[in-house]
Amino acid sequence: MTPAPHLPGKARPGGRTARTRQAVLTAVFDELAESGFGAVTMEGIAQRSGIHLATVYRRWRTIEGLVCDLLTDVSSTSVPLADTGTLLGDLHALAQSLETLYEAARVRGLLDAVVSAAARQPEAATILRDFFDGRLQLAGAMVGRAIARGEVPADTDPVAVISALAAPFYYRLLIVRRPVDIALAESTATAVWAGIRAGAYRTGGG
């Protein structure tokens, strides 16, 4: 299993490095909420966080690096990967966590900022792609557990399953620009489970 990617500014928890990172990421979150991505500057982040501008530049290099690191931080703490004992339960738990995460206006603004950053800068696009690849692999562990229990076929593709679960959220948020809700979470988890049972996510190797 591939771990979550190491992003600019990422450090082990605890100590001055972790406090510096948290202060900067909190400042980024506040700046995004108040002014939007286009108005965020490294100078403003340094001033708000109380961290020296040279330190901010050295660790994150760009605004794009900052917002992508913030997305990693928010997602890793707000989207726990449940182990309910059944894949259906895990899918519902994950969908509900995504709904809870993205119902917050601040987090929706962050997602917009990251997508905007990825459109503007190849490095940010790579960071965003690596982030989602890592999250897909981590969340795919629930499918691996289901395979081990004999609950689903051995050739069920974990990445395809989690991608199918996540896709409706990002379509709703980024394409049709409407809020997510618990009905979306419930219907998505149910539909993905039905697809698994119908063999929609099998690779053909089992």
8 A C-beta contact, residue 74 and residue 107: yes
Q: What is the mean pLDDT of the chain?
A: 87
Query: Tens of pLDDT along 73-118?
Result: 887 776 778 899 999 999 999 999 999 989 988 888 888 888 887 8
The percentage of the chain sitting over the pLDDT mark of 70, rounded to a whole number, equals: 92
Give the pLDDT of residue 34.
86
Question: Domain segments of the chain: what residues?
Answer: 15-197
What's the confidence (pLDDT) of residue 76? Answer: 74
d(CA 71, CA 103): 15
Contact 110, 204 (CB under 8 A): no
Tell the CATH superfamily of the 15-197 domain: Tetracycline Repressor, domain 2 (1.10.357.10)
Say if residues 13 and 77 touch (Cβ distance below 8 Å): no
Evaluate if pTM is beyond 0.85: no
pLDDT at position 9 is 43
Per this entry, what is the length of the chain? 206
The pLDDT of residue 204 is: 78
